[in-house]
Amino acid sequence: MKKYIAATAVALALAVGVGVYLGSGNTAAPASTFVLLDGTQKTTADLKGKVTLVNFWATSCVTCVGEMPKVIATYDKYKSKGYDTLAVAMSYDPPSYVVNFAETRKLPFKVAIDNTGSVAQAWGDVKLTPTTYLVNKRGEIVKRYVGEPDFAELHKLIEKLLAEA
Protein backbone atom coordinates (compact mmCIF):
# COMPACT_ATOMS: atom_id res chain seq x y z
CA MET A 1 0.00 0.00 0.00
CA LYS A 2 2.82 2.41 0.89
CA LYS A 3 4.52 1.68 -2.46
CA TYR A 4 1.25 2.43 -4.26
CA ILE A 5 0.82 5.75 -2.44
CA ALA A 6 4.45 6.68 -3.10
CA ALA A 7 4.17 5.77 -6.79
CA THR A 8 0.94 7.75 -7.08
CA ALA A 9 2.58 10.76 -5.39
CA VAL A 10 5.56 10.59 -7.75
CA ALA A 11 3.29 10.27 -10.81
CA LEU A 12 1.16 13.19 -9.62
CA ALA A 13 4.22 15.36 -8.97
CA LEU A 14 5.59 14.49 -12.39
CA ALA A 15 2.27 15.33 -14.08
CA VAL A 16 2.06 18.66 -12.26
CA GLY A 17 5.67 19.42 -13.19
CA VAL A 18 5.05 18.69 -16.86
CA GLY A 19 1.88 20.79 -16.76
CA VAL A 20 3.73 23.73 -15.23
CA TYR A 21 6.55 23.37 -17.73
CA LEU A 22 4.22 23.23 -20.72
CA GLY A 23 1.93 25.94 -19.39
CA SER A 24 4.63 28.46 -18.53
CA GLY A 25 5.46 29.41 -22.10
CA ASN A 26 4.66 32.79 -23.57
CA THR A 27 1.48 33.14 -25.57
CA ALA A 28 1.46 34.39 -29.13
CA ALA A 29 0.24 37.94 -29.55
CA PRO A 30 -3.29 37.80 -31.00
CA ALA A 31 -3.70 38.29 -34.72
CA SER A 32 -4.76 41.91 -35.11
CA THR A 33 -4.79 44.69 -37.66
CA PHE A 34 -3.92 48.12 -36.32
CA VAL A 35 -5.17 51.15 -38.27
CA LEU A 36 -2.57 53.89 -37.86
CA LEU A 37 -3.25 57.62 -37.78
CA ASP A 38 -1.87 58.03 -41.30
CA GLY A 39 -4.41 55.47 -42.59
CA THR A 40 -1.87 52.68 -43.11
CA GLN A 41 -2.17 49.34 -41.39
CA LYS A 42 0.15 47.26 -39.28
CA THR A 43 -0.53 43.67 -38.25
CA THR A 44 0.62 41.53 -35.38
CA ALA A 45 2.86 39.70 -37.87
CA ASP A 46 4.68 43.00 -38.48
CA LEU A 47 5.78 43.01 -34.83
CA LYS A 48 8.01 39.96 -35.30
CA GLY A 49 11.72 40.62 -35.32
CA LYS A 50 11.53 43.47 -32.81
CA VAL A 51 10.77 43.75 -29.12
CA THR A 52 7.55 45.79 -29.11
CA LEU A 53 5.59 47.60 -26.45
CA VAL A 54 1.87 47.62 -27.29
CA ASN A 55 0.22 50.28 -25.12
CA PHE A 56 -3.58 50.57 -24.89
CA TRP A 57 -4.35 54.11 -23.75
CA ALA A 58 -6.82 57.01 -23.94
CA THR A 59 -6.46 60.77 -23.98
CA SER A 60 -8.99 60.92 -21.11
CA CYS A 61 -6.86 58.59 -18.94
CA VAL A 62 -4.80 60.62 -16.44
CA THR A 63 -2.35 57.75 -15.83
CA CYS A 64 -1.92 57.24 -19.59
CA VAL A 65 -1.13 60.90 -20.18
CA GLY A 66 1.19 60.91 -17.15
CA GLU A 67 3.18 57.86 -18.28
CA MET A 68 3.51 58.93 -21.92
CA PRO A 69 6.80 60.87 -21.42
CA LYS A 70 8.29 57.66 -19.93
CA VAL A 71 6.95 55.61 -22.84
CA ILE A 72 8.59 58.11 -25.23
CA ALA A 73 11.88 58.05 -23.29
CA THR A 74 11.87 54.23 -23.34
CA TYR A 75 11.27 54.24 -27.10
CA ASP A 76 14.04 56.79 -27.67
CA LYS A 77 16.46 54.79 -25.49
CA TYR A 78 15.99 51.43 -27.27
CA LYS A 79 14.68 52.17 -30.80
CA SER A 80 18.12 51.83 -32.40
CA LYS A 81 18.55 48.38 -30.80
CA GLY A 82 15.48 46.67 -32.31
CA TYR A 83 12.74 48.02 -30.04
CA ASP A 84 9.43 49.53 -31.13
CA THR A 85 6.31 50.98 -29.55
CA LEU A 86 2.74 50.92 -30.79
CA ALA A 87 0.21 53.08 -28.93
CA VAL A 88 -3.37 51.90 -29.42
CA ALA A 89 -6.07 54.46 -28.60
CA MET A 90 -9.27 52.98 -27.23
CA SER A 91 -12.48 52.94 -29.27
CA TYR A 92 -14.19 55.54 -27.06
CA ASP A 93 -11.40 58.07 -27.62
CA PRO A 94 -12.46 60.66 -30.23
CA PRO A 95 -10.05 60.38 -33.19
CA SER A 96 -9.54 64.16 -33.29
CA TYR A 97 -8.32 64.06 -29.65
CA VAL A 98 -5.91 61.23 -30.45
CA VAL A 99 -4.51 63.07 -33.50
CA ASN A 100 -4.15 66.29 -31.50
CA PHE A 101 -2.41 64.46 -28.65
CA ALA A 102 -0.01 62.64 -30.99
CA GLU A 103 0.86 65.87 -32.83
CA THR A 104 1.20 68.20 -29.85
CA ARG A 105 3.24 65.68 -27.82
CA LYS A 106 5.25 64.73 -30.95
CA LEU A 107 4.82 61.01 -30.30
CA PRO A 108 7.79 59.41 -32.11
CA PHE A 109 6.18 55.97 -32.54
CA LYS A 110 3.18 54.59 -34.41
CA VAL A 111 -0.27 55.40 -33.03
CA ALA A 112 -3.35 53.36 -33.91
CA ILE A 113 -7.01 54.00 -33.23
CA ASP A 114 -9.09 50.96 -32.31
CA ASN A 115 -12.34 52.37 -33.77
CA THR A 116 -14.37 49.19 -33.35
CA GLY A 117 -12.82 47.89 -30.13
CA SER A 118 -11.88 44.65 -31.90
CA VAL A 119 -8.16 45.02 -31.17
CA ALA A 120 -8.75 45.58 -27.44
CA GLN A 121 -11.12 42.59 -27.50
CA ALA A 122 -8.52 40.36 -29.18
CA TRP A 123 -5.82 41.36 -26.71
CA GLY A 124 -7.70 40.02 -23.70
CA ASP A 125 -10.78 42.28 -23.70
CA VAL A 126 -8.80 45.32 -22.56
CA LYS A 127 -11.07 47.73 -20.71
CA LEU A 128 -8.70 49.41 -18.24
CA THR A 129 -6.13 51.93 -19.41
CA PRO A 130 -3.28 51.94 -19.52
CA THR A 131 -2.83 48.26 -20.32
CA THR A 132 0.54 47.50 -21.82
CA TYR A 133 1.98 44.35 -23.36
CA LEU A 134 5.63 43.60 -24.02
CA VAL A 135 6.05 41.36 -27.06
CA ASN A 136 9.30 39.54 -27.82
CA LYS A 137 11.00 39.17 -31.22
CA ARG A 138 9.03 35.96 -31.90
CA GLY A 139 5.71 37.79 -31.51
CA GLU A 140 4.93 36.33 -28.09
CA ILE A 141 3.52 38.28 -25.16
CA VAL A 142 6.11 38.21 -22.39
CA LYS A 143 4.53 40.60 -19.88
CA ARG A 144 1.25 42.43 -19.32
CA TYR A 145 0.96 45.55 -17.21
CA VAL A 146 -2.33 47.05 -16.03
CA GLY A 147 -1.60 50.57 -14.85
CA GLU A 148 1.73 52.31 -15.21
CA PRO A 149 4.63 49.85 -15.43
CA ASP A 150 7.62 49.99 -13.14
CA PHE A 151 9.84 51.49 -15.84
CA ALA A 152 13.13 50.37 -14.22
CA GLU A 153 11.86 46.77 -14.26
CA LEU A 154 10.50 47.24 -17.79
CA HIS A 155 13.89 48.49 -19.03
CA LYS A 156 15.65 45.43 -17.56
CA LEU A 157 13.17 43.13 -19.30
CA ILE A 158 13.52 45.01 -22.60
CA GLU A 159 17.33 44.70 -22.39
CA LYS A 160 17.04 40.96 -21.69
CA LEU A 161 14.68 40.46 -24.64
CA LEU A 162 16.82 42.54 -26.99
CA ALA A 163 19.84 40.37 -26.10
CA GLU A 164 18.00 37.18 -27.11
CA ALA A 165 18.58 35.75 -30.56
Which residues is 35 bridged to in the sheet? 41
Question: What is the pTM for the complete model shown?
Answer: 0.84
Structure confidence at residue 20 (pLDDT): 33
Kindly give the confidence (pLDDT) of every residue in the chain, 165 residues in length, as a single tens digit, with 9 standing for 90 and above: 554 343 333 333 333 333 333 334 689 999 999 999 999 999 999 999 999 999 999 999 999 999 999 999 999 999 999 999 999 999 999 999 999 999 999 999 999 999 999 999 999 999 999 999 999 999 999 999 999 999 999 999 999 999 997
- Phi, psi of 11, rounded to the nearest 5 degrees: -60, -45
Structure confidence at residue 73 (pLDDT): 98
**CATH architecture of the domain with residue range 26-163:** 3-Layer(aba) Sandwich (3.40)
Of the candidates 131, 140, 136, 132, the one whose C-alpha atom is nearest the C-alpha of residue 29 is 140
Structure confidence at residue 1 (pLDDT): 54
Structure confidence at residue 165 (pLDDT): 76
- Phi, psi of 61, rounded to the nearest 5 degrees: -90, 115
Contact 148, 67 (CB under 8 A): yes
Q: Give the Cα separation of 140 and 121 in Å (integer).
A: 17
| CA distances (Å), origin 14, targets 18, 33, 137 | 6, 41, 32
Residue 165, judged by CB atoms within 10 A of its CB (0-12, 13-18, 19+), counts as exposed
For the chain, which residues make up each domain, given as ranges?
26-163
